[in-house]
Amino acid sequence: MKRRARSKTRTPERLREYAARRDFAVTPEPAPSPSEPRAAAAGPTFMVHKHDASRLHYDLRLEIDGALASWAIPKGPSFDPAQKRLAVETEDHPLEYGRFEGRIPDGEYGAGDSLVWDRGWYQTIPAGEAREQRRKGHLHVELHGEKLRGRWHLVRTRAAAGKPQWLLFKAKDEAADARFDVVAARPESVVSGRVATRGPERAKVLRAPHPDPERLLERVWPPMLATLTDAPPPDERAWLAELKYDGFRALCALSGGRVAMWSRNRLELDARFPEVARALGRVVVGEAVIDGEAVALDAAGVSRFERLQQGGESVLYAFDLLWLDGEDLRARPLEERRDLLASLLANSPAGVRLAERIGGSFAEALEQSSKRGYEGVMLKQRGSRYEAGRTRTWLKLKAENAQELAIVGFTPSKASEKQIGALLLGVVDGGELRFAGKVGTGFSIELRAWLRRELARDAVDEPRAAGAPRLRAATWVELRLVAQVRFTEWTADGKLRHPSFLGLREDKSPLETTMEEPSAPPSGKSHASKAHAPKSRAPKSHAPKSRASNSHASN
């Protein structure tokens, strides 16, 4: 039997069963407080938890004498007075439990998702008789919740296996409505808005044979891509906003404890982000495919692309769930996939985090992301499915410009012949690789020297980018490396204005560095089921095919 963590404070008598069943070093559920019970402001509180444990049920909790008297209702409450719902009395819970929403870890008592389905205050009829009515076995209460309203009866019938059984049913009052199925009509949490829930991860699922994680990635390949836009769509209520993280796109498969991470062009990322791979390996699940961004954080906890080369805490910000325990989730609505992802990562290690949603208007979201040091926001259409390739149901709205560019050459440093002075850059525009200017800031001395040695291996006689100027001191190189650059804007002749080097992109090939030009946002009402991907043109290079460009070719 698992040893339970002992509380350093005295547990009230009526909450000892609750405490004995739980290990508070493992579960996020609140431990009982030894302090005196607070006085309710409007009246004693009540709440209902939507609890997906061994089976989905609803836990009604009434504040009585400084604790939450609790009943498990398998079918949930009904507004039809003729529907008498079984309510099995369970152990009392501490008042703090009324604010708990999350996932009880697998292997613990009551494992599974628990959402705050309703909350409010109540009074007995007549008022102030909760203790006496409970003792007699008939609670007549008036509920003032966000979903449950009016008078209700809770009547004890008999004890079974040590757990008293009650019946919950609606009184015949003005709130009664036999046609209204409140459980079906209002499935969401009143705290987080979450709807979809997940029960405990079954031992037989964990022990079952699972495919190689690479096979799972093949099943959901290729990833969904966003379209850059210069303004948010007009129908803001039809969209959700997330922070845009600056790192490597990473599709991650978990299968039987094994992990595979692929970039957009199928570059293996597990060795590149070992901390993330280890954290993913500790997520309790049989099979899952997670879409996210692998990033490095600065001292303030903000993702910075330049930190990928400098070192720093690496984490995966997960924003979508494509596969779960044998089920392909891509056709499910965005909100359901997000809810299940939140469940999967509820008690995950620190190396895997849920991507942050931002509320308010899109203008406010963009301003907030900029103030916090992020690149911008991702806008995702409500109800949309996960579709392969570039779509207009995911939009990128940038607070600052950043672009990946092909390194086509370098100029030497005036300070040392063993260092570069600037990188010469190219970008795919109109189907061909053309010269896009140079960048000379953002490098450390060590990086300038490393780039000088590395690029000298690739020297060629002629530039591989169209429109490259004649530069006496320039060394042109074969297409192999890609730079990430921040800049203010594109000039009229297609050059970078005020660029600064951020780092090298290992997950992109030179011929993938397509010039990002924002498109107009979707006009009018969007239709999530009809995503349109723009036609793409294959980029042309002025260089012969090289081993480097072949090895990094995109799919």
Q: Contact, 341 vs 332, CB < 8 A?
A: no
Rounded to 5°, the CA angle 351-355-356 comes to 125
Rounded to 5°, the CA angle 348-380-236 comes to 130
Phi, psi of 275 (to 5 degrees): -65, -40
Element holding 409 (H helix, E strand)? strand 401-412
From the list 46, 255, 64, the residue with the least C-alpha distance to 143 is: 46
Q: Report the C-alpha gap between 344 and 290 in whole angstroms.
A: 10
Q: Report the C-alpha gap between 399 and 125 in whole angstroms.
A: 57
Q: Contact, 442 vs 304, CB < 8 A?
A: no
244 in active site: yes
Residue carrying the six token digits 């009402």: 525
Q: Contact, 420 vs 443, CB < 8 A?
A: yes
Element holding 310 (H helix, E strand)? helix 307-310
Q: Which residues are 293's β-sheet partners?
A: 249, 317
Long-range (24+ apart) CB contacts under 8 A made by 363-370 are 363/232, 365/241, 366/232, 366/397, 366/399, 367/399, 369/243, 369/244, 369/399, 370/399, 370/400
From the list 499, 518, 501, 505, the residue with the least C-alpha distance to 294 is: 505
Sheet holding 389-398, edge to edge: 224-228, 389-398, 376-381, 239-244, 357-358
Q: Report the C-alpha gap between 476 and 496 in whole angstroms.
A: 19
How far is CA 102 from each of CA 52, 285, 469, 490, 549, rounded to the nearest angstrom?
11, 17, 60, 46, 47
Cα Rg of the chain (Å, integer)? 29
Q: Report the C-alpha gap between 20 and 113 in whole angstroms.
A: 20
Q: Which of 50, 147, 170, 244 is catalytic?
A: 244
Q: Which two tokens stand for residue 516?
A: 């990002």
From the list 14, 36, 32, the residue with the least C-alpha distance to 24 is: 32
Catalytic residues, which ones? 244
